[in-house]
Each structure stands twice: as C-alpha cells, then as structure tokens.
Amino acid sequence: MIIDVPRFVTQERDDWQELEKLLERMEADPYRRLNLAEVRRFHFLYEKTSADLARLSTFAFAPEICRYLESLVGRAYGEIHEAREARSPSSFRKWFTETFPRVFRRHGGAFGVAVAILLLGTTLGGFAVRFDPEAREVLLPFDFPLETPGERVAREEGARKDLLGGKHSTFSAFLMTHNIRVSLLTLAFGMTAGVGTALMLFYNGVILGAIGVDYVMGGQTTFLLGWLLPHGSIEIPAILIAGQTGFVLGASLLGWQSRRPLGERLRAVGPDLLTLIGGLAVMLVWAGLVEAFFSQFHEPVLPYTLKIGFGLVEMVLLFIFLARAGRG
C-alpha cells in the first residue's frame, strides 16, 4: 500500500491529539465517568486510531508514527476493554464494618482450614510440654524458659515500678509493626500453594499450646487468661485471618474447584486479599494498643476478673461482628 505519509499525518493528527488529551484526562482521574456523548466519541477515536495503525503497520517506512499510534491504542485499549468496575474509595467506616466482614465470610472455608491447623499445632505444643520436660526449653520463645510461670507471676505482681519502664508507646508500635509483618509474610507464603502459610500457623500454634500448658501446669491459669485474653482475643483471630488470606491465595494459585485460567483466578481474588489484610491490620493495631497499655498490668493494679471479662467481651463482639456485620 502506498501512503503519502505527511499528508496522511496532517489529515489524521487532530483525531490522534484529541484521543491523547482524552486519555490524559481519564488517567488523571481514574474515577471520572464519561457521559454518553464522550463515550461515543472516545470509542470512535479509538477505532479510528486503530484503523490508522493498521494502515501504517503495513507501511514499514514510518516506525516512529507506528510506535506513537501503538502507545495510543495500547492506552485506549485498557480503558475500553476494562470490565472490572472502578470502585471509588468508600469511607473507612463502610469498608471496615461492611466490606471486610462480608469478604471474611465469603472465604469462610479457608478460615476453617487456618483454625484447624492452628489447633493442631496448639495440641501438639501442649502435649509436648505436658509429657516431655525437655520440650519446654526447646519450644518456649524469648526468655520464657528462664523462669517458671510461678516465678514470673510473683515477679510481675510484686513489681513496684512499671516493668516496661514507661515505654508503652514504643512497645505498642513494635507489636503492631511486627505482627503486621508476620501477617504479610503469612499471606505471601500463599504463593507456595499454601504450604508456607500452613507451616507458619502450625508453628504459632505449637508456641501457643506450649505456653498455655506450661502456665496451666504451673497453676497460673488465671494469670494466663488475664494476660492473654485482652489482646489475644483479637490478635489470634487476626493471625488466623492472615492464614485465611494465604490459603485463599494458595487455592487460587492451584485452581481449586475452578476451571478459569490462572491469571483470571488471581485477578478475581486480589481485591478480597487486600480487604482481608487491611481488616486484620486494623485488628492488630487495636491488639498492639491493648497489649502495651492494658495486658501488661496485673494484680494488684488491675484485677484479673476485669481483664478476663474485657477479653471475653472483645471475643464475643468480634464473633458477632464477623458473623453478622454487613449483612444486607
């Protein structure tokens, strides 16, 4: 095909420029909705530019113009053929109180798997400490093995000054960031088809079970509940939700009960994963505040009944929230 390129460009360039400006406006504000006339014009310009590209593609003398038209067609293609709804950012309250619990329930099966694996680890950790005295030193983290539960309770209840040395904010920030990092890693391990996620949950379960049984055997059940429940009633479900995200990702990677191609499956679960991670991050911020400013105070400063009661109320409210909130 013979084309007089300069004349062709002169004839068509106004339309190309109009398409370019329209694309710039759309890209500057992704949530802007075009009216019907604009949509029609945009579609016309896209098809016309596509046709121009097709004409020039057969004419190898104009690579620069082809590259320019390819970039226009590529950008417009994304706008024209995108079928996912551009959800404008909803308010934080609406997202947390409606979207998050709905998404949580939608993937209830994955949460069930996470609970089962954590419980398995907890049982194993508990049995190990109960029946193997050496397991205590191997399984308990940090400086837990250095003293018996009774010694720790006596030290903390007898302390005349703040054991955190007034660094509650720092401790709180450390807990929040550390726990969110661990949760992100649990999600990311979903890319190992969920195997890494399962190992993370199992490991956490083993530690939880080991500590629990150690304190129960040491006769410090009340202290344990008063210490763990206020933050644990939120933190442990948050870790389970992190496991849930990992399993959702792993299942979509494996194509569990789905005939859709991999790209489509991952594309479909992306927003849900983000919602779950965002929701559990909020939960972990709360848990970090409670652990630093509430859980670390024991009798005689704070009665255990108050702490246990607080933890139980949180647990019930969280259960109701996740089970009921956002139902239409």
Partner 1 sequence: MLAARANFLRFHTPEGITFSLALASPVTRCLASVVDIGCISVLSITLGYFTRALNLFSADLAMAVQLAGYFVLSVGYGMFTEWYWRGQTVGKRLLRLRVVDAQGLKLNFSQIALRNLLRCIDLMPAFYAIGGAVCLFNRRSQRLGDIAAGTIVIRNPIARQPDLDQLAVDKWNSLREYPHLTARLRQHVSPRTAALTVDAIMRRQQLEATKRVALFHELASYFKEVTPFPPEATEGVGDEQYVRNVADVLFR
Q: Which residues bind partner 1 (CB under 8 A)?
A: 4-7, 9-10, 13, 16-17, 20, 27, 30, 47, 50, 53-54, 57, 60-65, 67-68, 70-74, 77-79, 81-82, 84, 86, 166-170, 172-174, 176-177, 180-181, 184-185, 187-191, 249, 253, 263, 266-267, 270-271, 273-274, 277
Residue 19 or 213: which CB sits closer to partner 1? Answer: 19
Task: Name residues whose C-beta falls within 8 Å of residue 153's C-beta, 6 or more positions apart in sequence.
Answer: 220, 223, 298
Residue 54 or 313: which CB sits closer to partner 1? Answer: 54
Task: Name residues whose C-beta falls within 8 Å of residue 102's C-beta, 6 or more positions apart in sequence.
Answer: 326, 327
In the complex, least distance from residue 154 CB atom to partner 1, rounded to whole angstroms: 27
**Which amino acid is located at 9 in the chain?**
V
Place of tokens 């593609």: 57
Residue 20 or 299: which CB sits closer to partner 1? Answer: 20
Residue 214 or 272: which CB sits closer to partner 1? Answer: 272
Task: Name residues whose C-beta falls within 8 Å of residue 169's C-beta, 6 or more positions apart in sequence.
Answer: 292
In the complex, least distance from residue 281 CB atom to partner 1, rounded to whole angstroms: 10
In the complex, least distance from residue 248 CB atom to partner 1, rounded to whole angstroms: 11
Residue 114 or 176: which CB sits closer to partner 1? Answer: 176
In the complex, least distance from residue 160 CB atom to partner 1, rounded to whole angstroms: 20
In the complex, least distance from residue 47 CB atom to partner 1, rounded to whole angstroms: 6
Pairwise CA distance, residues 47 & 73, whole Å: 9
How many helical (H) and strand (E) elements, i.e. helices and strands, does the chain have?
A: 13, 0
In the complex, least distance from residue 190 CB atom to partner 1, rounded to whole angstroms: 8
Residue 55 or 130: which CB sits closer to partner 1? Answer: 55
Residue 7 or 93: which CB sits closer to partner 1? Answer: 7
Polymer length of the chain: 328
The answer to whether 127 touches 136, Cβ cutoff 8 Å, is no
Would you call 168 exposed, middle or buried from its count of C-beta atoms within 10 A (0-12, 13-18, 19+)?
A: middle
Residue 173 or 282: which CB sits closer to partner 1? Answer: 173
The answer to whether 292 touches 169, Cβ cutoff 8 Å, is yes
In the complex, least distance from residue 200 CB atom to partner 1, rounded to whole angstroms: 12
Pairwise CA distance, residues 316 & 67, whole Å: 61
**Which amino acid is located at 190 in the chain?**
G
The answer to whether 79 touches 42, Cβ cutoff 8 Å, is yes
The answer to whether the Cα torsion of 7, 80, 259, 266 is positive or negative is positive
Cα→Cα distances 145→133, 134, 267, 297, Å: 11, 10, 46, 21
In the complex, least distance from residue 264 CB atom to partner 1, rounded to whole angstroms: 9
